Structure 1
Amino acid sequence: MGGLLALVTAASMVLAGCSYGPEDITPSIQSGSGVSVRIHFDSVLNLPPGTNVTYEGAKVGTVSGMSLQAHDVVVTVRIDRDTPVPADARVEIRSDTVLGDAYVAMTAPEAGAGSASALTDGAEIPVGQTASPPPLENTLAVLSTFVNGGSISRLEDTIREMNSAFPDRKQTQRVARIAGLDLRDLSASLDTIDDTLSAFDALNGAMLPRVGKIEEMFSPVGMHYWNQVSDIFGGLGVLIPSVGSVFEGGFWLVPMLQELNGSVYTVRDGIDAVGQNSNRIEAFLTDKLFPFLSKPQFKVISANTPQGQDVLKSSVDILRMLGAVN
């Protein structure tokens, strides 16, 4: 009989152990008469009752209890009635540091995807609106990879390279001083900048009514015109320096040009004189020049030495001996 009683007692303890959950480890904590809300999570890790509940960074309540369900964990929280939290708020379990205390963080829904109604007493937030914390082992593994993988060393190398790339302190101060002078000069010239912007605005207003003509200028026909203009100016660019050198050093031409001006008038007077004496010129050419050219001859009248002696007869004899005269 005693053995049967011991067996029944042991069976009762085993059956009781099958329903043992998180709520049996930590007591439920009541926190005033706020709104009680049940939040469903896939996992809560080591979240204890009494943990803070925040909404957009501000504390609005505390965790009052937890219960393990068939497919999720229900965390019961109490939220102050004076703080309306939308029913479609996002909820996740956060920790400010790697090994820091966890807490429940509630955030407003995305813009345009939320309901205006606030959570009421007894409301439930489904798993679809919650995010469970990553396992602590994963967090430590990521931290270990970051530390041991050389990320910190590479960060230090990057900082050293940046320090070596920057100039020394005196040079930096000099650059900052020059930049300050430039900014002061710029601030003193704001009126000029305003005038420039006003001029651009006026230019824009003048160009808008002529957009059609501007488009025509840059059309294929217009571009052909500009190409021709470019060729013309290219030729002028070769010619103008040469002409310019003549003008630059050509002051010596001024007297010659003045004399040339007088010569032009003289030639013009000569041309007028030729016109007035055309008959005499024609008679001279017909009666004198042309007959001489057809049969050139001349008659020697006298030939004297510097002492006055007549040598014409002797010269004629010599020419006759040479056969030059008869």
Structure 2
Amino acid sequence: MRRRTAVVAGVVAMATVLTGCDFSVYSLPLPGGAKIKGPSYSITVEFSDVLDLVPKSSVKVDDVTVGTVQKVWLEGYVAKVKLKLPKSVDLPDNSRATIRQTSLLGEKFVSLAPPTGDEKPRGKLENGELIPLSRTTSNVEVEEVLSALSLLLNGGGVAQLQIITQELNKALTGNEPAIRSVLTQLNTFVGTLDKNKQQIVTAITAVDALAKKLNAQKATLATAIDSLPKSIATLDKQRAALVKTLQALAKLGNTATRVITASQQDLVANLQSLYPLLTKLAEAGENLPKSLELLLTYPFPDAAAKAVKGDFTNLDITLDVNTKKALEGILGLKLPNVGPNALPTGNVSLPLHNPPKFPTNGLPSLPVPTGATTTCITLLGLPVCTAKLNRSAFDPELAKVLMPGVAK
């Protein structure tokens, strides 16, 4: 009785001591991660599934234990593991982390390794850094392998493999040429798709852009579709009028065809007659509008208005008249060619108030201005006179403006 009391008292005393201290199971010396002495640093690793990884598990590099797992917790749908490593472990910044198993039924541990393949190591892994989910993996569990194997053996395909093989043999026997042709065509089809994959991608991109535009105009399309039945009903009501309109258009077309056929030759002849006129108008070019400009101010061009200073202008004109051509035009006669030395000449000064009088044969009487000198000759019994104006404040530039090509 005394021995039992002593044991109970010892257990109570031990429980009292333990409850009075900051005690945790993880503080007990358990097998697992390496004991780190000296400087160290911590990193965080993300996993989609940590399996049954627990704190105090090992952290290995090249299958050598170098650190330990400090903490495992869940953040959202991602499991995070905090690792403690000694400063002597030098790993690149883009290292990869994998949850592995020591043996078939052994404990789990975290394996760290530099990147492999085309990716080259860069930087250095330091305290507080994170290895993201994209650079972590976990090996297949034994339980998963056994579960898949049991599904295959108990409910699955092992019992059906013989039936599947027999049915395939029945289906393929005697159809080898057709199957070979199908495989050849399939190979050609896949090869054509591979050659035109860029065009296919471009077409899919264009369809995607079209779908986005249609989605942006969804309200407008819905309004158009809603109003479409009313439009169709309106067209249905106007069907008879539309039919009559189309029939009238058909008659008009037939009539126009007959008219054009009947007048074809005349139309071609008119066009051929217009061709020379249009050709000459085209050749006239910019000369035609210039001549039309002179029509309203003949015989002076538009620039003559700039030569008028106030209410007067100075003008000196020399008229050179071919008397033979003038008489032939006035009398309607064909005069013989006579040399200039065969005609008598003379100078006659006529007063202003007594201009020469020509016979009544249609010749006009011309008054002679003040200061003019008149020269007359006798041709076939008729006096022929020329008058020359005396120069008075003559301005050559003004004469060029007033009578271009004539004034001298």
- TM-score bracket for the superposition, by shorter chain length: 0.3 to 0.5
TM-score, normalising length: structure 2: 0.28
Greater share of residues in helix:
1
TM-score (norm 1): 0.34
